[in-house]
Structure 1
Amino acid sequence: MSVATTVHLNFRGQAREALEFYQSVFGGQLALVTHAQSYGTTDPREADLIGWGQVQSENGFHVMAFDVPAARPYDAGIDPLFVSVRGADENELRRYWDALAKDATIKAPLEPSAWAPLYGMLTDRFGVTWVLDIAVAYNG
């Protein structure tokens, strides 16, 4: 048996825009199911919000997201999670970084670090914090 872990991001009304943006960065297939389709929501303020969505690309990138319904409490908090994108191709990581960095807050510039040949951290315009790096073997 094998398992895969996928980050599932929660938003309040921004899931569609965020998933479309991530698809523009990483490519892949976009799937969107609205609250009306998934929960039978008839309230026009929530019917077109995302009940479930994902971007999945052939290069291994996969993220899911939804819009938390108004009846449910939601607090994004401060850095509740990091989405880590690790790879071996510097040019590919730089392309992702450049796209994600638009309207983002750079927490650590994409550059060599003490633990990786290339490492950077930013918080995108949706409040999601991304870590991009070139993976190296751990010799702990």
Structure 2
Amino acid sequence: MTILNTYLNFPGTAEEAFSFYKSVFGGEFATLMRYKDGPGCPEGGELPPELGDKILHISLPIGANMLMASDALPPLCPPVTTGSNVSLSLHPESEAEARRLFAALSEGGQVQMPFQPMFWGALFGMCADRFGILWMVNFELPKA
């Protein structure tokens, strides 16, 4: 069974927003990772110091679902605009299903990040489908 979660992008206010959501829904963050804890800038560039404490990834369980987010800040990401600040995040049970979903959703659309191995131990890709809806596909690789 594939899990579908909501992924939000913020213009530098993810931590403030998620502190608010935590006060509303309760619970504890399942993940809180800052840019300074990640792999740095794409293509080997240096992370601007003012971005180090911004949120690379945060997640808050809400019932059986997960609300997730990041600070999408240039030069690491395109600027956040209404419409590009929400993605649907798929978590399939198998690599084959993850690859199938990514290929089908990106057909006729635009691949934003190819489906590939990532530093957190998953295969991951991002695309906009032919209707402009943003999708993330994440398949956690088995631990060795």
What TM-score results when the alignment is normalised by the length of structure 1?
0.50
Instruction: Pick the structure with more strand per residue.
Output: 2
TM-score (norm 2): 0.48
Query: Whose relative contact order is higher, 1 or 2, with alpha carbons under 8 Å and at least 6 apart?
Result: 2
